[in-house]
Structure 1
């Protein structure tokens, strides 16, 4: 119901260039340019002005975006109100997030939904946080489990409702017998001279590692770029380096030690739930958010008891 060209204009405002916008929206640059030209023609205003290799949004474009955000939120609220007219909660809840969040929170939440609402199905998709936000805007998912980072929209972004869900502390993962394998814990700065294992591209963990190490006063020397936790743990067990591992991630039976980190601040991942603004009152979305909060509470209680 909302003109898709408004979404293209919003993406251009974020990415700054037609090429970057095309990549984010999985379109060709020519398609992006054409849609924006047609939008400007239909509105009868100038939306873009060239500025070197980039384009700058005109004052009229910012007015359009402000109203576009309000229209999108109102449409989601209308869908939610219409869904309330039905009898019972039914349908498919689409949930996306990083693998560890889906395993620890998404799967238990989906199981709770299945038990409480037999007519509800769940569809879970593993993606990094930046892609989850894109999927929300493209109406390809309903709820996202995201990690705020440098590429994430701010919590004040009018297009989303973002709510804290879980704070997940991180530990230092080292091989058995390593000099830092101390049960009482270590300061992160003590790992400054170690080789590090973390994948740089398309990985929510990378900026978190860099921020934690920078706060501890050093830049990590990354020698191996691996993302999947089983592979990371295997490399650590063979002595190829160390890494930060979230508490929410169960470790395979490798010869590794999870070392608690001391000092301030202790590295942590902060999970948020994100939905399109106006959609949180939709019965299906509300049930999903409630199930996620229950799963997070249960996970925290289990972690404190262990």
Structure 2
């Protein structure tokens, strides 16, 4: 039995995305092309791999078994490519990095520029991506590095199959309209004012609410904004106070007073995740980008540096 690795990648994508149409979009091909590849793979395997379910398809038992092996096979192929690059000390190729907006601008773009300036054969591509979608893209190898965030006071879901690389901490700052004249930096001094916060379901929104509770009051949240630029504009217009992470304060409009919290009660940690490397090294090109993100020297042989993975599921 000969199984084509490229067709195994298609099956893996269907299993990961939950259907032919979503897999086709991720692979940048038509749904009919995906169906044809699945049909050919089924003939190679000797078993049907998908079956109709409503308007879509689901994996058969054989399809589920083969999809599980496909992920491991694709991982082994990637490790083989990495081994060759390490043996030749080659920092070259394309590295695709996904990140949420504030980190993309403040961290990823400068790191990408530095990495490419230091390694002429390296091509770093930056993609603004939502956290949940970016993790799927990482598993499918559409992305190679994903930058994520953890907010204080926000519980999340542990994901054990990804490698974690700490990057930075990002403390929250208190922002108020200049005309208010309340510059103490103490949350408790703003218990009686209107507030601007992120959407209630987001980590930033939940973290803001929890920080105010810890300061002893229920905030009067009158305005909601996911985009930090909009939050700053609302505060500049005098609509309320807000808590904003430092990376979102690169372009503060006139009329906004920025103060570090007098007692730091909340913040976020920024970290990158990559596909698991097991006991092997990180690809030199990926290691070079990670090093620039973390401000350290790249070291492709990082077998002893793997951190325990404690990923929090976050939305932006």
1:238 counterpart residue number: 237
Show structure 1 runs of 5+ residues with no match: 13-17, 297-306
- Are the counterparts in 2 of residues 105 and 295 from structure 1 also a CA contact under 8 Å? no
- Could you state the TM-score of these two structures normalised by the residue count of structure 1? 0.69
Aligned-residue CA RMSD (Å): 4.3
- Are the counterparts in 1 of residues 20 and 35 from structure 2 also a CA contact under 8 Å? no
Q: Is 1:95 aligned with 2:61?
A: no
Q: Deviations over 1:207-249 (max 9, x none)?
A: 12232144344576352435152x3312211112333211123
Alpha-carbon deviation of 1:192? 7.8
2:269 counterpart residue number: 270
Whole-Å Cα distance in 2 between the matches of residues 220 and 21 of structure 1?
41
- Are the counterparts in 1 of residues 193 and 240 from structure 2 also a CA contact under 8 Å? no
Whole-Å Cα distance in 1 between the matches of residues 34 and 124 of structure 2?
37
Alpha-carbon deviation of 1:291? 1.6
1:119-198 paired onto structure 2 within 5 Å: 119-148=121-150, 154-156=158-160, 158=161, 160-178=162-180, 181-187=182-188, 190-191=190-191, 194-198=194-198
- Are the counterparts in 2 of residues 196 and 223 from structure 1 also a CA contact under 8 Å? yes
CA distance 1:241–1:40, change in 2 (3 Å): farther
1:93 aligned counterpart, secondary structure: strand
CA distance 1:44–1:101, change in 2 (3 Å): same
- Could you state the TM-score of these two structures normalised by the residue count of structure 2? 0.68
1:140 aligned counterpart, secondary structure: coil
Equivalenced residue count is 278
1:286 aligned counterpart, secondary structure: helix
Aligned partner of 1:6 among 8, 12, 31: 12
Alpha-carbon deviation of 1:294? 0.7
1:147 aligned counterpart, secondary structure: strand
Whole-Å Cα distance in 1 between the matches of residues 20 and 37 of structure 2?
13
- Are the counterparts in 2 of residues 213 and 220 from structure 1 also a CA contact under 8 Å? no
Q: Is 1:44 aligned with 2:39?
A: no
- Are the counterparts in 1 of residues 197 and 205 from structure 2 also a CA contact under 8 Å? no
2:113 counterpart residue number: 111
1:75 counterpart residue number: 77
Whole-Å Cα distance in 2 between the matches of residues 248 and 166 of structure 1?
11
1:162 aligned counterpart, secondary structure: strand
1:210 counterpart residue number: 205
2:283 counterpart residue number: 282
